[in-house]
Structure 1
């Protein structure tokens, strides 16, 4: 959330094991009281590590939550032997540096069905499901998004999160390596149905334009069968795998986390037919401008190498 980058890596040279650790100082107790979003973020970082390992010809032996007594240790990855030739992960490597959220309007060109199916398969490979709601279900998702955005605009705790993790001026944007700079906010939503979060909140951003967004947004729901920390880590890996593939296929994307931050609204996002599954994220996908990227912390801040 908000490009907080709540992860750290610790590499043990002797055993060739990476630890992925949650950076709890970057948690958002108000918007993410159960640390669900934090685990999803760490899961995405874990997937990138796995992709990089396979790209280098190594097999990433992964354990989730390996030490129940250490709540910050979310995963370990041992580099054990040669990578499997059919994992498909290595091919995603070029997209790691390219992928970022675009908060700009997309056009109404429909995503081909074979690509939708490939994105769904990418999610399934990580133990999650990706579905594209349509008809009345899509209308319901959009209504829940509107409700959550209205709540966020009057939620004082949400303002605290935005104040910490968004940068409203060039000076602060140029001197920080986390958060969302103002030029990545995208335009204010003037019209359209896309569930866009206004990262400015009630604050004014000088020179910011307004624009019409998609009339028929293409949204995808990423869900898991259960709703525990291990499932959140799987969801993070799944969403990153989906987004890396989407990037390689020429799609732009952004995340809509607003409805899943409210317990009652998140419950209503579940599969309307079976009533099962736990929606972890809403993805907005389509063809449109990439938009500017957001900064990343230097390796020296997030990586510790031990003997």
Structure 2
């Protein structure tokens, strides 16, 4: 804990961890500003990195920025800091998403610091998982992680899992029939490996995973009908473990909380030896999003569909350098 403004090197390290967060199409739609005399770090939405077809309301943008905010909190706790966080501090500037007063004098959050080693290890794994159920005790720990951020994590029953998989297939068909959406996805994804290009964002070919054979699982096919050299087919798990992350309300503050909850769940899962992939495909269509929720649960708004289990870790996706993310004033 400290009462003195942090030096720029320390803040740079915090922002580096924030920049590893997940985001829709790995667009990394965040920016940071450090007011060094005040010891305040601000989080902004980078509106040049929106996805108007897949994310017209910027719900996914807020989830990604919320995940980056959570990584900041984890990194701060690991550094012995106790930041005071405010969401949406100024209604006149909706792109101003959060403010962290880094000079808080309280005790660091002891529950967050142990998650720090998982921050650089957390990657999406769109590969087949083993047909091995996640134990109930591990599931409950993930549910607790979501609750700690004001969200809910639900593991639906078998009938509802089948329904979610059908909705994912429905959304895939809608995307395939929408040229504008296909073009947007192609703009943020690359059919060549990351080593073949110097991109610092988007999804490289090695992160697509193989094409699915047999039973469907909720894994988005970022190839969108394009050829990917060397990409093969593979059988995926017959009974995928699916979880739904959701909130009671559905506004920008709720999306930011959901993003923090998603990253807290993901880091906890990584610590527990699990791998994860996420999809928002059925949530990107208002006419089917409502059907994703479990009608017998209190979860009013599903924010993300999560597939989790035991399997190979996914590859790291490219990241923007901190110099592109952080302004110091």
Shorter-chain TM-score range: over 0.9
**CA shift at 1:85, angstroms?**
5.3
User: Is the aligned partner of 1:101 residue 2:117?
Assistant: no
Structure 2 equivalent of residue 216 of structure 1: 239
Deviations 1:25-67 (Å, cap 9, x if unpaired)? 0000111000000000000000000111111111121111101
Structure 1 equivalent of residue 57 of structure 2: 34
Give the TM-score taking structure 2 as reference length: 0.90
Deviations 1:47-92 (Å, cap 9, x if unpaired)? 0001111111111211111011112101101113345355401111
Give the TM-score taking structure 1 as reference length: 0.96
Matches within 5 A, 1:247-258: 247-258=270-281
Superposition RMSD in Å: 1.4
Aligned to 2:217, the other structure's residue is in SS state: coil
Q: Distance in 2 between matches of 1:214 and 1:171?
A: 27
Q: Which runs of 5+ in 1 are unaligned?
A: none
| More strand by percentage | 1
Specify whether residues 83 and 101 from structure 1 end up closer, same or farther in structure 2 by C-alpha distance, changes over 3 A only. farther
Matches within 5 A, 1:155-194: 155-170=178-193, 173-194=196-217
Q: Distance in 2 between matches of 1:287 and 1:264?
A: 33
Deviations 1:108-130 (Å, cap 9, x if unpaired)? 11111011000000000000000
Structure 2 equivalent of residue 303 of structure 1: 326
Q: Which runs of 5+ in 2 are unaligned?
A: 1-23
User: Is the aligned partner of 1:132 residue 2:149?
Assistant: no
Matches within 5 A, 1:14-53: 14-53=37-76
Structure 2 equivalent of residue 149 of structure 1: 172
Q: Bigger CA drift: 287-296 or 75-84?
A: 75-84
Runs of 4+ in 1 over 6 A off after TM superposition: none
Structure 2 equivalent of residue 269 of structure 1: 292
Aligned to 1:223, the other structure's residue is in SS state: strand
Q: Is the 8 A contact 1:57 1:82 kept in 2?
A: no
Correspondence for 1:65 among 76, 80, 88: 88
Specify whether residues 222 and 79 from structure 1 end up closer, same or farther in structure 2 by C-alpha distance, changes over 3 A only. same
Q: Is the 8 A contact 1:57 1:83 kept in 2?
A: no
**CA shift at 1:173, angstroms?**
4.8
**CA shift at 1:246, angstroms?**
0.4
Structure 2 equivalent of residue 13 of structure 1: 36
Question: How many pairs were matched up?
Answer: 306
Q: Is the 8 A contact 1:173 1:182 kept in 2?
A: no
Q: Bigger CA drift: 166-175 or 17-26?
A: 166-175
Aligned to 1:216, the other structure's residue is in SS state: coil
**CA shift at 1:200, angstroms?**
0.4
Q: Bigger CA drift: 263-272 or 277-286?
A: 263-272
Q: Distance in 2 between matches of 1:302 and 1:167?
A: 22
